[in-house]
Structure 1
Amino acid sequence: MDPVIIVGAGPVGLTLALALARQEVPSVVLDEGSGTDEQRLARTAVLREDTAALVGRLAGFPVAEAGFRWAGWRSMRRKQVMRQITFGEDDPALLHIPQHVLTAALRTAIAAEGLVKMSVESRLDSVEQETAGVTAHTRGPRGTWWRGSFLVGCDGPRSTVRKLQDIRFPGRTAVERHAVAALRTELPWPGQALLHRLPPWRTSGPSVAEVTARPLAEDLWRMDWLLPPGKDLVTPDLLVARVRETLAGWSGGTTPPYELLDTGVHTVHHRLARRWRAGRVFLAGDAAHLLGALGTQGLDEGLRDADNLAWKLALAWHHGSHEALLDSYQVERRAVVAARLRATDQALPMLRAGGLRSAVPGSSRGHDALLTEGHLGRGALGAPGTYADAPLAPPRAESSVEVGTAVGAPVTDVRVTAEDGSAVALRDRLGRGALLVLLIAPGTVVWARKHWVTAGIMPRLAAAVTALPHRAELLVAESYPGAAAHTVLLIRPDGHLVTALGGVRPADLYEAAEAALGGPRATAEAAASRS
């Protein structure tokens, strides 16, 4: 079987390559660059807890140590503090990390991965599809033909893959523009991110509508100033004036010492590809969608694309293509991103129209709540999407029960006991291509595994797991949010909940697993491949 061809060596493409390798699928990554990345501290990413765990698991490095977890969040309007949030165990902080650090860690992991081949200075210029595979051609010093089973375009906003497949990319240009600076300084709220709307100072140029300060490690900060509509040039002098007046405004009128390390202008576009699949060709990341206004995070969504697609391609690579399963990637991911874009576009006129703030009592706090959602990955603007209504969702069974996680949503990370008796985090068992079956069994922690693995409902559940239409791993947890004792959770390889059942119901568990794999045809193909 030919490898998967991945076009683009950014975080999404590299994550996809590693995710496929963890499921024993070889890939070729076509990198049109030299294999190194420019160090830009003004280009950072904010990752939610589960996507940060995904990168850490795949790259095999402590991603939290390479980035910075915020201690808290505060938002202000003029001189008034509107909201303060302190992050803790029950409310985990986001991870803020320079993108070049993230990419370097992924490249290091790939260098040690035998199933991934990197080809630098390889610019794609043609793609041909046949029934059995894909042929791609690259030009440049390493110009050659490449043969693959599938091809995934992770090649950014100007995606060559998307253009070669004649896929439209409609949307809005320059929804927002921000002047960006990375600097080293001390602010009055160390470790806390800040959103300040309508700050009261105005010492040079037009007044500032909104400024965001997000901490990195070692007194480093990324600061973003929302620019007025238009294409006015942001000069170095103007940016330095913004830095000085903002720092002075936050520090009692005197500009504290600072070191300016990097600057730039970030322009936010909102676009969504009409199709994310064309036969054996797929799109992911910025090649498929662009978003980012009101604090929403495009890279986080791109990593979710890779996580969603990897296990489906792996199953198709090992057991034969199943159209419903492969089609579900576009259906699930495009619907989630489209919903986020709609929510953001609907909120933009209200949040950016100055007159409405004074016309509607209490609107400022409502606007602040919406902006906080976007920046902190919550609510309609920022929360991870669910796949409850997607094609892979099973029909509700009589034994179905409600738990603290909605069907189709990412599961909560809890401590579990694996089949070998080891105690691990649930997220550590994701991304291996297997379904996970989690039994909630309070009290098992006080007994040696050999005593409870053959007692009660465990033998019956173990037999049901063995009979499932795809490889599955049986795990046991003391508790899970909202779950009663003997609840059985079925979890997809990408960590989304398929169903929760009250007790051991082999027929219901089998039906749910079958649906999660795309339906009966996937089951037949998987069985045939094992025989």
Structure 2
Amino acid sequence: MDPVIVVGAGPVGLTLSLALARHDVPCVLLDEGPGKDEQRPARTAVLRDDTAQLVQRLTGTPLTEAGVGTRWTGWRAQRRKQLVQQVTFDDADPSPVHLAQHSLTAALRDAIAKETLVKVSVDSRVDAIEQERSGLTVHTRGPKGTWWRGSYLVGCDGPRSTVRKLLDIRFPGRTAVERHAVAALRTELPWAGEALLHRMPPWRLSGSEVTGRPLADGVWRLDWLLPPRNELVTPEALVARVHETLTGWNGGVTPPYELIDTGVHTVHHRLARRWRVGRAFLAGDAAHLLGALGTQGLDEGLRDAENLAWKLAHAWHHGPSDELLASYQTERRALVAARLRAADQSLPALRGSGGLRAYVPGTTRGHDALLTDGHLGRGPLGAPGTHAGSPLTPAPFPESVPVGTPVGALAVDVRVTAEDGSFVRLRERLGLDHLIVLLVAPGTGVWERRHWAGAGIMPRLTAAVAALPCRAELLVTESYPRAAAHTVLLIRPDGHLVAAFNGVQPGALYAAADIALGGAGEATETSDAG
């Protein structure tokens, strides 16, 4: 079968290509550029815990251990001179990973260079797409201009996506929702390792809001929210902002600093009308633009890649399922649309002139909490979201039981015993071309798997897993939040919970797995209450 064609070698296109390779799907990555990225320390990315683990899983290197990114020790929200909110991060509540975008793409490119299933073609700009029932053909111009044959196509080619234009997909939305002056500098601040959101700082030049977020190697990224008018940010004005802000944060004394990079970041809010036309799809900035109030467009683009990769892989290996492929747009577009809607609804209150709202008790604190949610990936502005309304999420079965994770949400990253007897984290087993069946079995962690693999309900569960409509990996965990002993969880390759059952329920398990793969969910005749 022909490879999948990925257009665009930014973080989303690189991630999607690696994810497809992990699913044993060959792909061609068409890079419009020369295969190298400009180093811009002021252009950074904040990855929530689930997307950071996705990148680490694909590259094989923990981003923080490699010196690529850093995790914050805490988060501070300050208004004028008052500390109004403080968050301390730990292993149970990890912070996002903050890194320069060129460091992220470099790590992804290094991993792709070792991947035999990914062919990279640089200086290849797409200028034509032709689709037919069995596949599609893409033409590129440039020094290596040629025709490429593929099974599917994914446009990850950014806000000005050529793929989106060739597919004649509208991209409505709002321009310049927010503008920020940005500086990357090396210095020491009083809050070592902590990120800071400072609203209404009592200085003349810093405007209504400034954030400081640490990077690796003692570097900080500072962002100043600019007024709605199209204010010109000169180098002299930006240096004055840096000097005044550092002086204000350090009690009137300007610490030594090295200015590394500067820029202006303009946030647009746009959402493509469609994310799929036949065998062609959109992902990342080609499909959506967001970023106001601390939300992260790149984070959403990586979630696009993870959602789409396993569905394309299943179609590539087992034949296309229109319901499965259509669910990519249904699931991801709905979540991004909800994120944009939440941001647009919050903007007037957070960025408006205030009026009576400024005097309502609790209003300011609520605004600070909302902004914190956006920056830290929580609440309606930043949480990963659920697929409860997805066609791949079955309605509750009579055998279903509630657990600590809502159906359609990301499963908790518990420690599990793999089929070879090793102890790993659940998320380490994601991103493969199979479902995961997770049994909650207290006490198993103290014995080798060979001692209990043939005891109790394991033989019946093993048989039920073997009978599923696709390959599934059977994992065992000592405990799962709010799950009783012998609870069986069915989890998608991207980590979202499909269903949870009380004991071994072969018929319900089969039906849920079939629905998760885009089928009709017809249960087998066998039923065992376990």
Category of TM-score, reference length = shorter chain? over 0.9
Which residue identity does 1:134 align to in structure 2? L
Change (3 A) 1:523 1:107: farther
Deviations 1:286-323 (A, max 9, x none): 00000000000110100000000000000101111110
Instruction: Compare 324-333 and 387-396 and name the one that shifted more.
Output: 387-396
**SS state of the match for residue 130, structure 2?**
strand
Query: 1:103 pairs with 90, 102, 105, which one?
Result: 105
Question: RMSD of the TM alignment (CA)?
Answer: 1.3
**SS state of the match for residue 261, structure 1?**
strand
Change (3 A) 1:401 1:522: closer
Work out whether residues 46 and 297 of structure 1, in 8 Å CA contact, stay in contact via their aligned partners in 2. Answer: yes
**SS state of the match for residue 217, structure 2?**
coil
Match in the other structure for 2:409: 409
Work out whether residues 322 and 521 of structure 1, in 8 Å CA contact, stay in contact via their aligned partners in 2. Answer: no
Instruction: Compare 402-411 and 151-160 and name the one that shifted more.
Output: 402-411
**SS state of the match for residue 213, structure 1?**
strand
Match in the other structure for 2:185: 183
Match in the other structure for 2:281: 282
Deviations 1:114-142 (A, max 9, x none): 10000000001010101110100000101
Which residue identity does 1:396 align to in structure 2? P
Instruction: Compare 499-508 and 267-276 and name the one that shifted more.
Output: 499-508
CA distance in 1, matches of 2:284, 2:455: 47
Match in the other structure for 1:448: 448
Match in the other structure for 1:41: 41
Match in the other structure for 2:125: 123
Mapped pair 1:113 → 2:115: yes
Deviation of the 1:355 alpha carbon: 2.2
CA distance in 2, matches of 1:358, 1:269: 27
Mapped pair 1:326 → 2:325: yes
Match in the other structure for 2:464: 464
CA distance in 2, matches of 1:38, 1:523: 54
**SS state of the match for residue 240, structure 1?**
helix
Match in the other structure for 1:83: 85
Runs of 4+ with >6 A deviation: 521-524
Deviations 1:258-300 (A, max 9, x none): 0000000000000000000000000000000000000001101
Deviation of the 1:359 alpha carbon: 3.1
Which residue identity does 1:186 align to in structure 2? E
Which residue identity does 1:317 align to in structure 2? W
Percent identity (aligned): 73
Please list, as runs of the form range in 1=range in 2, the aligned pairs for 1:54-453 lying within 5 A after superposition.
Answer: 54-65=54-65, 66-202=68-204, 204=205, 208-356=207-355, 357-453=357-453
Deviations 1:382-439 (A, max 9, x none): 1111101111011211111111111111111111111111111111110011100000
Change (3 A) 1:178 1:79: same
**SS state of the match for residue 401, structure 1?**
coil
CA distance in 1, matches of 2:447, 2:199: 55
CA distance in 2, matches of 1:157, 1:164: 14
Gaps of 5+ in 1: 525-531
Deviation of the 1:522 alpha carbon: 11
Deviations 1:328-375 (A, max 9, x none): 000000000000000000000010113244232221101001001000
Work out whether residues 386 and 410 of structure 1, in 8 Å CA contact, stay in contact via their aligned partners in 2. Answer: yes
Change (3 A) 1:214 1:252: same
Work out whether residues 52 and 64 of structure 1, in 8 Å CA contact, stay in contact via their aligned partners in 2. Answer: no
**SS state of the match for residue 330, structure 2?**
helix
**SS state of the match for residue 437, structure 1?**
strand
Instruction: Compare 439-448 and 323-332 and name the one that shifted more.
Output: 439-448
CA distance in 2, matches of 1:238, 1:434: 55
CA distance in 2, matches of 1:364, 1:137: 54
Deviations 1:203-232 (A, max 9, x none): x5xx51000000011211000000001222
CA distance in 2, matches of 1:176, 1:27: 37
Work out whether residues 177 and 269 of structure 2, in 8 Å CA contact, stay in contact via their aligned partners in 1. Answer: yes
Change (3 A) 1:521 1:73: closer
Deviation of the 1:523 alpha carbon: 11
CA distance in 2, matches of 1:522, 1:440: 25
Work out whether residues 470 and 523 of structure 1, in 8 Å CA contact, stay in contact via their aligned partners in 2. Answer: no
CA distance in 1, matches of 2:398, 2:64: 42
Instruction: Compare 26-35 and 444-453 and name the one that shifted more.
Output: 444-453
Q: Normalising by structure 1, what TM-score?
A: 0.97
Which residue identity does 2:215 align to in structure 1? L
Work out whether residues 510 and 523 of structure 2, in 8 Å CA contact, stay in contact via their aligned partners in 1. Answer: no
Deviations 1:11-51 (A, max 9, x none): 10011001000111000000010000011110111111111
Deviations 1:458-511 (A, max 9, x none): 000000000000100000000111111111110000110001111111111111
Work out whether residues 469 and 510 of structure 1, in 8 Å CA contact, stay in contact via their aligned partners in 2. Answer: yes
Change (3 A) 1:9 1:293: same
Deviations 1:155-207 (A, max 9, x none): 000000000000000000000000000000000000000000000111x5xx5
Work out whether residues 69 and 97 of structure 2, in 8 Å CA contact, stay in contact via their aligned partners in 1. Answer: yes
**SS state of the match for residue 64, structure 1?**
coil
CA distance in 1, matches of 2:130, 2:217: 49
Instruction: Compare 2-11 and 416-425 and name the one that shifted more.
Output: 416-425
Work out whether residues 511 and 522 of structure 2, in 8 Å CA contact, stay in contact via their aligned partners in 1. Answer: no
**SS state of the match for residue 156, structure 1?**
coil
Q: Normalising by structure 2, what TM-score?
A: 0.97
Deviation of the 1:61 alpha carbon: 1.3
Match in the other structure for 2:499: 499
CA distance in 2, matches of 1:272, 1:399: 39
Aligned residues: 521
Which residue identity does 1:422 align to in structure 2? S
**SS state of the match for residue 307, structure 1?**
helix
Work out whether residues 517 and 523 of structure 1, in 8 Å CA contact, stay in contact via their aligned partners in 2. Answer: no
CA distance in 2, matches of 1:361, 1:62: 44
Match in the other structure for 1:528: none
CA distance in 2, matches of 1:521, 1:36: 46
CA distance in 2, matches of 1:42, 1:272: 26
